[in-house]
Amino acid sequence: MTGNTFGNAFRITTFGESHGPGLGVVIDGCPAGLPLTEADVQAELDKRKPGQSEVTTQRKEADMVEILSGVFEGLTTGTPIAMLVRNADARSAAYENIRNIARPGHADFGYMEKYGMRDYRGGGRSSGRETLSRVAGGAVAKKLLSLYGVEVHAHTVAIGNVRAKPATIEEIKANVWKNPVRCADLSAADAMLREVSAAREASDSVGGIVEIVATGVPAGVGTPAFDKLDACLAYALMGIGGVKAVEIGAGIASAGMRGSEMNDEFCTEDGKVRTKTNRCGGILGGISTGMPIVCRAAIKPTPSISRPQRTVNLETGAETIIEITGRHDPSIVPRAVPVAEAMVALVIVDQMISGGLINPVSAGAVDASRNR
């Protein structure tokens, strides 16, 4: 277990620190013949780019992606696709004062304990910038899934105590990228913005919840007993920095429900089996039902707050006070939206290849014989 590879049949290996030369990803297992350009990937990266609004950090970076391998004459070749984004705006001097200080709520302390050292500049590998590699990998996964009719859409459903109304997939597609909090419910979006502003004014931060919906996933996707679809989604989402809970379908509420409320009854529609309701979030026994996959990730408030906090100098062992300077997102929830999309897309494409529903070497070669 070395930790920086995700997936089995379609796998990404990521690298890079916040203030090193660059970040990137190597995708191994993408079938040949998929049309792919840097613009496809750039479009996804732009969704997480900083400096877009008052909500997110002001660090100005082009974050232009370069494809280093695996694409020839506009098509993937079946060989590894490496992509690189150079770091530009890297004022590492700004971090010299936290060299030995464990910031509360951050990974600093764990890295020091584990490795005995760390690249402290901007969080190093534990920086949110690391998710850039995931989004680049997810961009390819999404492109491949689109050939099979699968779409993945994420949206913010809560920030602090503001919750969005339930949204249709059409509302999500129409509204999410129009507002800085990535919410499908435009009036809730305004309230969320105010919640973020209030937190910033209080030198504080807020958490929230992202929901991800995948449509078009055929029934039969998932690999019991351990690589169930929901288990892999939980692994993928909990691995995003700041996520403290993952729910599938009714999620935590299911604990308080009766079986007669929770069970989704089966029916037929146009000759296909489906469920009348979807409290299970499109997954039963770890295998997709053909209904939309619905899951949520709860994200804690940004740990970087400008209030003084008590902590410890890891070199001297002395207790001390830290005041984090610089500009930090009062909420990382909006920036987690494209990351959550990417991770869910990566899980589904991996499972579909492993399950014989996407040909592992040739994109578009749908296995017609599977249509039972």
Which residue numbers belong to the known binding site for FMN? 125-127, 285, 300-304, 327
CA 289 to chain centre: 23
Q: Which stretch binds a second copy (CB under 8 A): 140-148, 175-183, 185-193, 307-315?
A: 307-315
User: In angstroms, rounded to a whole number, what is the distance separating the alpha carbons of residues 25 and 65?
Assistant: 10
Q: Which C-beta is closer to a second copy: that of 43 or that of 252?
A: 252
The residues with which 284 forms a beta bridge, in sequence order, are: 287
The residue with tokens 């459903």 is 157
Q: Which C-beta is closer to a second copy: that of 87 or that of 175?
A: 87
Q: Contact with a second copy (CB under 8 A): which of 39, 170, 201, 256?
A: 256
Q: Give min distance, CB of 278 to a second copy, in A.
A: 12
Q: Which C-beta is closer to a second copy: that of 51 or that of 224?
A: 224
Task: Please give the annotated binding residues for NADP(+), written as ranges.
Answer: 48
Q: Contact with a second copy (CB under 8 A): which of 41, 188, 192, 209?
A: 209
User: In angstroms, rounded to a whole number, what is the distance separating the alpha carbons of residues 352 and 217?
Assistant: 9
Give the helix/strand (H/E) hosting 141.
helix 131-146
Q: Contact with a second copy (CB under 8 A): which of 37, 53, 97, 161?
A: 161
Q: Give 192's contacts (C-beta < 8 A, 6+ positions apart).
A: 156, 159, 160, 162, 164, 181, 183, 208
Residues 211-250 that bind a second copy (CB under 8 A): 218-228, 230-239, 241, 243-250
Q: Contact with a second copy (CB under 8 A): which of 58, 100, 215, 359?
A: 359
User: In angstroms, rounded to a whole number, what is the distance separating the alpha carbons of residues 204 and 210?
Assistant: 20
For residue 275, what are its two tokens?
């469920």
Q: Give min distance, CB of 170 to a second copy, in A.
A: 25
What amino acid occupies position 49? K
Q: Which stretch binds a second copy (CB under 8 A): 12-20, 50-58, 145-153, 186-194?
A: 12-20
- Do 296 and 211 touch, CB atoms closer than 8 A? yes
For residue 121, what are its two tokens?
């500049």
Q: Applying CB under 8 A, what is the total number of residues that bind a second copy? A: 166
Q: Which C-beta is closer to a second copy: that of 66 or that of 170?
A: 66
- Do 192 and 162 touch, CB atoms closer than 8 A? yes
Q: Contact with a second copy (CB under 8 A): which of 1, 39, 96, 170?
A: 1
Q: Contact with a second copy (CB under 8 A): which of 36, 55, 65, 84?
A: 84
Q: Which C-beta is closer to a second copy: that of 45 or that of 339?
A: 339
Taking phi over 0 as left and psi of -120 to 50 as alpha, with beta for the rest, 185 belongs to beta
Write each residue from 92 to 131 as x if it is in contact with a second copy (CB under 8 A), else as -, in one continuous string: ----------x-xxxxxxxx-xxxxxxx-x--xxx---x-
- Do 183 and 177 touch, CB atoms closer than 8 A? no
Closest C-alpha among 291, 361, 350 to residue 145: 350
Q: Which C-beta is closer to a second copy: that of 54 or that of 261?
A: 261
Write each residue from 51 to 80 as x if it is in contact with a second copy (CB under 8 A), else as -, in one continuous string: ---------------xxxxxxx--x-xxxx
